Amino acid sequence: MSLLNYFKRKSLQSASVSASVAKDRLQIILAREHGNRNEPDYLPKLKQELLAVVSKYVNVDISAISVTRDRDGDCEILELNITLPEPEVTK
């Protein structure tokens, strides 16, 4: 590699900085994986048991129940969301 080539390459590179693309992609994927990492093992079972209780009174499908655990600063939030069916379907 000659001196001239070196500078040529350097000026070309400033246009496409692949390292910053790598950093952005990593930031996104690591944040997502950290979310999964903190997901406790009991969530799927909790969902099943909730469904069993709720379906005694209301006819709901498991897809209508969403349980998520989130973190807001120091505060951990367990969010439970049940979408009830249209009134005419209720028992």
Partner 1 sequence: MAKVIVVTSGKGGVGKTTTSASFATGLALRGKRTAVIDFDVGLRNLDLIMGCERRVVYDFVNVLNGEARLKQALIKDKNCDNLFILPASQTRDKEALTQEGVERILNELKETFDYIVCDSPAGIEKGALMALYFADEAIIVTNPEISSVRDSDRILGILSAKSHRAVNDAEPIKEHLVITRFSPTRAEMGEMLSVVDVTELLSIPLLGVIPESETVLSSSNAGIPVINDKDSSGGQAYVDVVSRFLGEEVPMRFLDVEKKGLLKRIFG
Asked whether position 1 contacts partner 1 by CB under 8 A, the answer is yes
According to DSSP H, which parts of 15-86 are helical?
18-38, 43-57
Identify the burial level of 51 via C-beta atoms within 10 angstroms of its C-beta, where 0-12 means exposed, 13-18 middle and 19 or more buried. middle
Token pair belonging to 82: 């049940």
Site membership for partner 1, residue 27 (CB under 8 A): yes
Total chain residues near partner 1 (CB under 8 A): 23
Could you say which residues in the range 4-23 bind partner 1, by CB under 8 A?
Answer: 6, 9-10, 13-14, 16-20, 22-23
- Taking CA atoms, 49 is separated from 56, 68, 70, in Å, by 11, 15, 20
Q: Is 2 in the site for partner 1 (CB under 8 A)?
A: yes
Q: Is 28 in the site for partner 1 (CB under 8 A)?
A: no
C-beta of 22: minimal distance to partner 1 in Å? 5
Among 3, 52, 53, 77, binds partner 1 (CB under 8 A): 3
